[in-house]
Amino acid sequence: MKKLLLMMVALVICASAYAQIETPVRWSYAAKKLNSKEAVVFLKATIQPGWHIYSLNVADGGPIKTSFEFTSSKQYAPIGKTTEPTPVTKFEKAFNMNVSYFEKEVVFSQKISLKSATAASVTGKLTYMTCNDKKCLPPEDVDFIIPLGK
């Protein structure tokens, strides 16, 4: 009986600890081959209401900007910089400056040079920070693998 009670208490503690982890941003990925030598990868952030993530372009002294790091490969290479749609820009008291950010959802894109016909996926890591009007969560790193398709 003691074991059962102890197990129930442990489950309640674990469940409440898990429930406190906030994940207001969900990432999804896609790719489109333009031809045999080029593709575009898309990295989409779906953001819960009341939250936002920051632009690729944030001035020093502000929040952590969203960034993408593509793994070096003999199969592919990024062409130019990652692009984003036009962000919302507003003054944020927390940072005492104008900052650019996205709400609801945003799709970033990166053109890729295909160095090999056998290139199957693009891999890397993205970093972002999310805030609402009351708090900011610590920056988060997310590893990604984006299948290139055929």
pLDDT per residue over 71-108, tens digit each?
999 999 999 999 999 999 999 888 899 999 999 999 99
Does the structure show a pLDDT above 80 at 110? yes
What pLDDT, on the 0 to 100 scale, is given for residue 76? Answer: 95
Q: What is the pLDDT of residues 13-58, one digit of tens each?
A: 444 444 457 899 999 999 999 999 999 999 999 999 999 999 999 9
Burial class (CB in 10 A: 0-12, 13-18, 19+), 103: middle
What pLDDT, on the 0 to 100 scale, is given for residue 6? Answer: 42
Burial class (CB in 10 A: 0-12, 13-18, 19+), 113: middle
Residues with Cβ < 8 Å from 56, sequence gap 6 or more? Answer: 65, 66, 67, 81, 82, 84, 108
The pLDDT confidence band at residue 150, using thresholds 50, 70 and 90, is low
The pLDDT confidence band at residue 117, using thresholds 50, 70 and 90, is confident
Of residues 91, 17, 102, 109, the one with CA closest to residue 55: 102
Q: What is the pTM of this model?
A: 0.84
Instruction: Collapse the DSSP code of 126 into the 3-class scheme (helix H, G, I; strand E, B; otherwise coil) and give the result.
Output: strand
The CATH label, of 3.40.50.720, 2.40.240.10, 2.60.40.1250, 3.30.470.10, for the domain at 24-147 is: 2.60.40.1250
Question: At residue 27, what is the residue type?
Answer: W
